Amino acid sequence: MISTTSVYLLTDKARRARQMLNTRQILHDLADSVTDVLTASVAARDCMHD
């Protein structure tokens, strides 16, 4: 029989892994947003120089 402690440790480990994945996803989305903003600002700057 699995003890309550090991079940708790497993669920805790799974939760932390999921949080890390969520954090990585957030950072990835943030990087995409920053890239979009930079691309837009470069395009705007190019338009002003024309």
Q: What is the spatial distance between Cα 29 and Cα 35, in angstroms, rounded to a whole number?
A: 10
Give the end-to-end CA distance of the chain in Å, rounded to a whole number.
Answer: 74
Task: Give the dihedral sign, CA 20/24/29/33.
Answer: positive
pTM: 0.57
For the chain, the C-alpha Rg in angstroms (whole number) is 22
pLDDT tens for each residue of the chain, 50 residues long: 668 888 888 899 999 999 999 999 999 999 999 999 999 999 888 888 76
Reading the block at residue 41, the tokens are 């600002």
